[in-house]
Amino acid sequence: MSPSIYSFLFLQLISMNQVASKSKVRSFPEGFVFGASTSAYQIEGGAFDDGKALSIWDVASHEKPSPIKDGSTGDVSANSYHFYKRDVEIMKDLGLDFYIFSVSWPRILPDGFTNNVNKGGIDFYNKLIDEMIYNNIKPFITMYHWDLPVQLQKLGGWTNPYIADWFKDYASVLFENFGDRVKHWITINGPSEICNDGYGSDLLPPTLNMTGIGGYMCAKNVLLAHASAYHLYDEMYREHQNGTIGIALNFTWFEPTSDNPDDHHATWDAKQFLFGAYAHPIFTKEGDFPEEFKRSVAAKSAEQGFKRSRLPELTAAEVTAIRGSSDFLGFNSYTTKMVYRDASIEGMYPVPSYMDDMGAVIVKDSTWPQSQSDWLQEVPWGFYKMLQEVSRLYDNPPIYITENGWSTSGGLLDEDRIRYLRNYLSALLDAIDAGCNVQGYSVRSMIDSFEWRDGYTAKFGLYEVDFSNEDRSRTPRKSAFIYKEIIRSKLLDPHYEPEVYLEEVPENEEKKDDYIYKK
């Protein structure tokens, strides 16, 4: 059976089962919480203000020629560094229970080390946290979301084993200054992208492009850094600060293109390489990297003449330190991909490389709804299956959906984002009904932001930001009103239509046409 026919039949079966749930009003469980998420480099701006030093993203976005699709930078972005009160007003208007934001490491420690703590950075985050708490919004802090201080990258960044100690020291500064008010911590967001895209390729800074080597060195050190921060909190701060601490991992559902056993094996290998490499050491009783992952890299390394596996070994003491080092699982998930294995794969990837070690081909199905971002398609049944798989593999841990969202090219009438949110929230409720321990959901993102290599070409925000205006005005899209009602009512109502209006009609004629609803 061809991949396209298999995919079509599978989708038909899924859609038949979802017709009833899509047409009825559904309730979220008691205590379920809603939020929004973003990161420092994406929205803050203030790149050179008040003692902040350069991050690897500050450097990368200024390279010539620019690696960013539209040649832009995050120097100003949504300027949340100066407009944070406006952002909190939006949080309050939406009715958010919590807000996930990251702290910029070089804004706190300009040199990366604790001998130089930047008071300007401490003051900014104190003001933001206090403003959120005053408005009854829980701060959910991510310690690291990709903006490593340049000074640390000069020393090897995440490939230097000493970074576990550097990160622990950085975490201690955050706990000391903010832990009296912040009760939810994420150590590191998206380690697979940090390592595979930053050290194993040239897709993200620092663009080390040492695939099959640098990415694996990074993976071990990220796990150890996370564990060091977790144990520091557990031993020194938890008793009197009474918070929780976890990690946010990226999960893409992989579906085999056929019933061929080779395609199923390839799919399983892809899962172990993408998320198993990070989830298995933390969330299983065995700990350590997945056996399939270790065997594959070791075998390929031997074939290629290496004296030892290119995947660094975790010692027994390191396995023990990493295992169980998370109070909850942050779940970043957006889309689904198809996977197969074919004899023609030989020679498809560089040798050595992460993808050659995996031995799988990952593709997308062109029939699925496509967002503005090339990598993002709407596949809600994959979201459901991913939640089920994680709950099964990792003993049903407490889960927060820390990132999920849809990109458009702009405009206020974002029906495709609304459809995506409703379909994914319905899939989430299906997963909860099936027993998955999902505690909350955070949409990405509340406002438009700098979208990494896509710059400002992809819009993920419930609120549109006018990046051409010095004031960086924020205007609610239709999806903002839909999400606000979901939060208010704790219901997923597929028939709800908001009555919205603008207090001031935009000067842009195209935006006038977007708002067809009148109060």
Residue pLDDT, tens place only, 225-258:
999 999 999 999 999 999 999 999 999 999 999 9
Q: How confident is the model at residue 288 (pLDDT cuts 50, 70, 90)?
A: very high
Side-chain half-sphere CA neighbours of 459 within 13 A: 22
* pLDDT (tens digit per residue) in 432-464: 999 999 999 999 999 999 999 999 999 999 999
Tokens 């406006």 belong to: 86
325: pLDDT strictly greater than 70:
yes
What structural domains does the chain harbor? 3-514 (3.20.20.80)
Sequence-ordered alpha helix ranges (H) in 307-446: 316-322, 354-358, 380-393, 415-433
Give percent of the chain above pLDDT 70: 92
Q: How far is CA 313 from the centre of its chain?
A: 27
In which band, very low, low, confident or very high, does the pLDDT at 321 lie, cut at 50, 70 and 90? very high
Identify the bridge partners of residue 463 per DSSP, sorted by sequence position. Answer: 447, 476
Q: What is the pLDDT of residue 507?
A: 56
Q: Is 359 left (phi over 0), alpha (psi -120 to 50) or beta?
A: left
Separation CA 493–CA 426 (nearest Å):
10
Strand partners, 363: 338
Say whether pLDDT at 347 is over 80: no
- Please report, rounded to a whole number, the percentage of residues in the chain having pLDDT higher than 90: 90
Retrieve residue 384's tokens: 């459901």
Q: Residue 147 class from Cβ within 10 Å (0-12 exposed, 13-18 middle, 19+ buried)? A: buried
- In whole numbers, what is the pLDDT of the chain averaged over residues? 93
The burial of 363, by beta-carbon neighbours within 10 Å (0-12 exposed, 13-18 middle, 19 or more buried), is given as: exposed
Q: How confident is the model at residue 260 (pLDDT cuts 50, 70, 90)?
A: very high
Residue 16, pLDDT score = 39
Q: What is the mean pLDDT of residues 10-31?
A: 66
pLDDT value of position 500: 74
Q: Which pLDDT tens digit goes with each residue over 158-209? A: 999 999 999 999 999 999 999 999 999 999 999 999 999 999 999 999 999 9
Q: What is the pLDDT of residue 501?
A: 57
